[in-house]
Amino acid sequence: MEEECGCGRHHDPAFGEGDCGCNHHGHGQFRRRFITKEEKIQKLESYAENLKNELAAVQEHIKELKAKTK
């Protein structure tokens, strides 16, 4: 869903503030294009946790299916 920001341009809010190229979002013209080591670690830890939760859900579903076939 596109929204009009204060500059009169349209941008998709799903891609974050300031992606319309205007300067009023507080980002300026130059934005950081890399993530820090700490940010990468945090993202990977979060991803690992999500994978663990997904694996647990799949294992539970398998357990339920096996119980129904007995």
Q: Which residue ranges make up each domain of the chain?
A: 1-33, 34-70
pTM of the model: 0.51
Report the C-alpha gap between 33 and 19 in whole angstroms.
13
pLDDT of residue 32: 79
pLDDT of residue 5: 57
Report the C-alpha gap between 47 and 17 in whole angstroms.
24
pLDDT of residue 9: 59
Q: How many CB atoms lie within 10 A of CB 32?
A: 7
Report the C-alpha gap between 7 and 18 in whole angstroms.
10
Name residues of the chain where pLDDT drops below 70. Answer: 1-28
Which tokens sit at 43?
Answer: 């993202």
